[in-house]
Structure 1
Amino acid sequence: MIRALWFILKLAAVIAAAVWLVERPGMVSVHWLGYVVEMSFTVALLLALAAMGLAAFGYRFLRSVLRAPGSIRRYRRSRVREAGYRALTQGMVAVAAGDAVTARKMARKADGLLNEPPLTMLLSAQAAQLQGDDRAAQQYFTAMLDRPETAFLGLRGLLTHAIKIGDRVEALELARKARALQPNTPWLLGTLYDLEARAGDWASAEGTLQQAIQAGAIPTEDGRRHRAVLLLERSFEAERRGRSDAALAHAQSAHDLLPGFVPAAARLARLLVAAGRLKPAAKVVERTWKQAPHPDLAEAYREVLGSYDALTRVKLFEKLLTQAPNHVESHIALARAALDAKLWGEARDHLKRALGIEPSHRLYRLLAELERNERHDETAARDWLAKAANAPADPAWTCGSCNAVSHAWGGLCGHCGAFDSLEWKAPTLAVSLMEPGLPPATATALVKSTAA
């Protein structure tokens, strides 16, 4: 509608101008070189307008002729860039499809057509990785470090390669350099946290963990558990350095974060015992037992009650049974205390109850021990041990990554080095138990501290 109105207005203006000229006739006379040219004003005006239009057309034509070489060059360059970007796109698609040959071919073509090393180097590096040419890929990624706009991509490629070949020292250094360039990148913070934790740099890992949680790289609940594990490791480290107060403070913080986390509760109870605070230590075990009965807690409770006589210990272990009356660990813990006190009947009663809840190797061995100590019956003891051979496996601290079994909990798996991977469960594969001397130095010290 608006366009129609605008057209009508322009047409009205033209008609008005024509009428105005018709109503005001006149003559134009030109004297030049002895010639006299006479015409009406309207014709002269039209000729002037035509001359101006012809001059404008001539100017544009001449300008186009003069600019033709440059326009041709720009056109050819645009065609070349278009072909280069097409090759780059096809190369990226080939990388995504795992077609190493096509990816390498398109990388070379794009490199020849485009004068943009940041894009072509990345494609060339990815193509080399697909073909298994790690040396060439590293060269491309290293070359990318020289350009500010590609330095982060180069570091990421080198970091990925270092992790792939298991060079964690180099990977940690590269991850820290990458964080200096892009400090809030979620995947990088998660990777850096894992590398720092595996390296045993607990304080740095704790700071990076907080950043990773804020960036959304690690869920809040997972982050809470990871922080509790880091605090426990810092507790072990402080104890090795003779800083008992710091060791106790870190263990207390870990327990406060996760009250039902068995390693934290057991660790805190033992440190409280070492500090002579037996009553708080007992409370820690009793409260945690209600949430997660566990053999490590029972061992810690025995340390708490070490100064009591055997009969008193039995009475106190009954507190654990009241916290979780239907759990197998409650009956085993009380049966163990009864065996120490030579209360054979009570021990047998709780072992039988535990057997009805969940048979295991440990239960049958305790029943064999009961037969030897109470009745000196080797035949009955051997019968129980024979049943133990076919019983379900006892739960143990088992790595969720490699399925290796550890004799004691630790933040690092002594077999594969995974952080926070130990779970209390029955192993699903036949693997060798990791002896305390086999893990790396850090993990060994942690195991010894836990067992102390």
Structure 2
Amino acid sequence: MLKALWILIQVLFVCFTFLSLTQIDGQVDLSWKNYVMEVHLGAALAAFFGFLFVILLVHKLLIHFFDIPKVVARKWEDRSMKKSHLSLTRALTLMSAGDYKHAAYHAYRAQKLLPERYEKGAGTFIEAISAQKMGQDSRARDLYKKLLDNKEGAFLGIQGLMQDDIQSQKFDHALLKANRARTLYPKQPWILKTVYDLQIRTGQFEEALSTLKTLLKADKKNAATLAKDEVALLVALSDKVSSDDPKQGIALLKRAVRLEQDFVPAVKRLALLYIDMGKSRAAQKVISACWKSNPHPELADIWASLAPENTARKPQQRLRWFEKLVALNPQNIESQIAAARAAIDDGLWGEARTYLMAAEKIEEREDVYQLWAELERLSTRNEEAEAAWLRKAHTALPKPEWICRLTHKRYNQWYAIAQPHGAFNKIVWQRPFAETSSGRTETISAFQHGLIASN
């Protein structure tokens, strides 16, 4: 409506202009050789401007005429783009439904319909994923490589190739591609996390520590978990360098202990390195500091290696050494068990009974009753009493162990990387898992008995 009104206004303006020109008074004489032509001035002006108007109109018509191929091409392109987008939508729908064969077909069709000057990365990516799902790994890799031609498509290609390398356990190759993705998008948390995980997988702990600092700034939501990873990384790195450079190993472990004073794997390794270097007092100090908040049997074993020998004048010197641990944390069962173990080893039956009774009051655990059975066997040789204690041990709470939180696999000690599945910092000190009637695995009596697991 408005367009028609605008055209009417333009026509009226032209008509008004011509009428106004014809009303101008005057005369124009045109002479050529012997010919003379007298023309009214208004009519001459109207004719002149009318001639210009016709020229402009013809020019415009010619422009539109020569633009017809471009208009037709543009219309055809728009039609192709609509068909391409429809094919792409169908490909995504089919892929989500698990029909990868037809999804690949529609993704390929979407690429063919799309004009050359447009980015075709989405269709190629869908086709590559579909090929991978159908087991056509070689074709999938070729399609991913095809995406590396430009920046936008390159990221999709790198991501696909990287995931393929990870599935094939080619972690070195995957890390190269992850680093390339990082150069394209250096602040993406998930890319940083992938680089970080692959650096750990390939044993590049020092580089992982550097990446972790960047990741902590980019991923605020998981900052607490990542901070614990830093401690585990420092311990892992110390394991790698301590045999060649004990001083560097000690420096790394001291950093770990400063971040988390009661992280048993760090404290244990630091104490052992101190002992190897003849620094027994330093070893005692770090064990004592950890024992106040997180007693652990592995630390008790190291403490035993530092204990003075009994003498004729001081027959209970070793027990007094362990009583220092009891004084540091008397309400913890590990303190009482450590003292009871020392008393049994030294034949101090009365003291052993005292500590075992204290341990039993804290928690009725299998290793407590196993020590009761050993005490009966050594002190009274009462086989019936020993068997009774062993029966109680069989039904009592199990003692904690090093267990992977992901697989529930048990380990004889803490490792930074849980093999064979390669999970990092997932081994924790807790009770073993038991199968429930519902088929799930749960920590035995962890909630009912208030176990606090150490990392």
**Fold in common (TM above 0.5):** yes
Give the match for residue 78 of structure 2. 78
Query: Equivalent of 1:406, from 406, 411, 414?
Result: 411
Which digits, 9 at most, give the CA deviation of each residue in 1:91-130, with x for residues without a partner?
3454455442442232121122123443432121122234
1:147, distance to aligned residue in structure 2 (A): 4.6
Unmatched 5+ stretches in structure 2:
1-12, 436-455
Please tell me whether residue 195 in structure 1 is matched to residue 201 in structure 2.
no
1:325, distance to aligned residue in structure 2 (A): 2.4
Query: Equivalent of 1:244, from 243, 246, 249?
Result: 246
Which digits, 9 at most, give the CA deviation of each residue in 1:181-205, with x for residues without a partner?
5444322221222222223232222
Contact 2:309 2:317 in 1 (8 A): no
Query: Equivalent of 2:379, from 349, 374, 378?
Result: 374
Give the match for residue 171 of structure 2. 168
Counterpart-to-counterpart distance in 2, 1:73 and 1:222:
57
Unmatched 5+ stretches in structure 1:
1-12, 431-452
Contact 1:190 1:217 in 2 (8 A): no
Which digits, 9 at most, give the CA deviation of each residue in 1:37-60, with x for residues without a partner?
54363x554554444333322211
Contact 2:322 2:338 in 1 (8 A): yes
1:232, distance to aligned residue in structure 2 (A): 1.4
Give the match for residue 134 of structure 1. 137
Q: Give, as a single letter, the amino acid of the residue that structure 1 aligns with 2:26.
A: M
Which digits, 9 at most, give the CA deviation of each residue in 1:379-436, with x for residues without a partner?
2111111222222222100011211100111111133221111011112148xxxxxx
Which digits, 9 at most, give the CA deviation of each residue in 1:63-83, with x for residues without a partner?
111221232223212322332
Query: Equivalent of 1:150, from 148, 153, 158?
Result: 153
Contact 2:308 2:317 in 1 (8 A): no
Counterpart-to-counterpart distance in 2, 1:205 and 1:70:
56
Q: Give, as a single letter, the amino acid of the residue that structure 2 aligns with 1:372.
A: R
What TM-score does the superposition give when structure 2 sets the normalisation length? 0.81
Give the match for residue 422 of structure 1. 427
Counterpart-to-counterpart distance in 2, 1:259 and 1:383:
40
Q: Give, as a single letter, the amino acid of the residue that structure 2 aligns with 1:353.
A: A
Higher relative contact order (CA 8 A, sep 6+): 1
Give the match for residue 271 of structure 2. 269
Give the match for residue 227 of structure 2. 224
Shift in alpha-carbon separation, 1:360–1:198, aligned structure 2, 3 A: farther
Judge which range, 180-189 or 419-428, deviates more: 180-189
Superposition pairs of residues 319-330 of structure 1, within 5 angstroms: 319-330=324-335
Quick one: percent identity of the two aligned structures? 31
Paired residues, number? 415
Which digits, 9 at most, give the CA deviation of each residue in 1:333-378, with x for residues without a partner?
2222222232222222221222232222211111111111221212
Give the match for residue 206 of structure 1. 209
Give the match for residue 440 of structure 1. none
1:255, distance to aligned residue in structure 2 (A): 0.9
Counterpart-to-counterpart distance in 2, 1:164 and 1:217:
28
Judge which range, 304-313 or 278-287, deviates more: 304-313
Query: Equivalent of 1:388, from 381, 393, 410?
Result: 393
Counterpart-to-counterpart distance in 1, 2:82 and 2:308:
81
Q: Give, as a single letter, the amino acid of the residue that structure 2 aligns with 1:240.
A: S
Query: Equivalent of 1:253, from 252, 255, 278?
Result: 255
Counterpart-to-counterpart distance in 2, 1:352 and 1:396:
23
Which SS does the other structure have where 1:194 is aligned? helix
Contact 1:270 1:304 in 2 (8 A): no
Which SS does the other structure have where 2:40 is aligned? strand
Superposition pairs of residues 300-311 of structure 1, within 5 angstroms: 300-306=302-308, 311=316
Give the match for residue 39 of structure 1. 40
Counterpart-to-counterpart distance in 2, 1:135 and 1:81:
30
Which SS does the other structure have where 1:394 is aligned? coil
Counterpart-to-counterpart distance in 1, 2:396 and 2:387:
14
Contact 2:108 2:124 in 1 (8 A): no
Superposition pairs of residues 275-294 of structure 1, within 5 angstroms: 275-294=277-296
What TM-score does the superposition give when structure 1 sets the normalisation length? 0.81
Shift in alpha-carbon separation, 1:63–1:32, aligned structure 2, 3 A: farther
Shift in alpha-carbon separation, 1:62–1:178, aligned structure 2, 3 A: closer
Contact 1:189 1:217 in 2 (8 A): no
